[in-house]
């Protein structure tokens, strides 16, 4: 599994961080998504997929 986060689409809502702070963070200055683990283990798939679904800007994608 691979997670992609597009800062250009990010609205800074923080839903991804609330869903899984071990994968996502927010930039201190702009509040945009910061991807901490682009290749988390399969055990993180449900949270990563939920973060992608909850993202209002469509900035998060789960591949593979």
pLDDT reported for residue 19: 98
CB-CB contact of 14 with 44 (8 Å): no
pLDDT in tens, 9-44: 999 999 999 999 999 999 999 999 999 999 999 999
Q: How far apart are CA 36 and CA 60, in angstroms?
A: 13
pLDDT reported for residue 33: 98
Report in angstroms the alpha-carbon separations of 32 from 1, 12, 41, 43, 64.
22, 5, 23, 25, 24
Range of the domain at 11: 2-63
pLDDT reported for residue 22: 97
pLDDT (mean) for 47-60 = 98
Q: How far apart are CA 39 and CA 43, in angstroms?
A: 11
Looking up tokens 């991807």, which residue turns up? 35
pLDDT band at 8 (very low <50, low <70, confident <90, very high): very high
The number of domains in the chain is 1
Q: What is the CATH number of the domain that holds 12?
A: 3.30.70.20
DSSP state letter for 21: T
pTM for the full predicted model: 0.94
């Amino acid at each position: 599994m691979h997670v992609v986060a597009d800062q250009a689409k990010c609205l800074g809502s923080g839903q991804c961080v609330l869903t899984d702070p071990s994968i996502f963070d927010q930039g201190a200055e702009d509040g945009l998504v910061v991807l901490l683990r682009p290749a988390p283990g399969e055990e993180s798939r449900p949270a990563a997929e939920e973060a992608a679904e909850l993202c209002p800007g469509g900035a998060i994608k789960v591949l593979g």
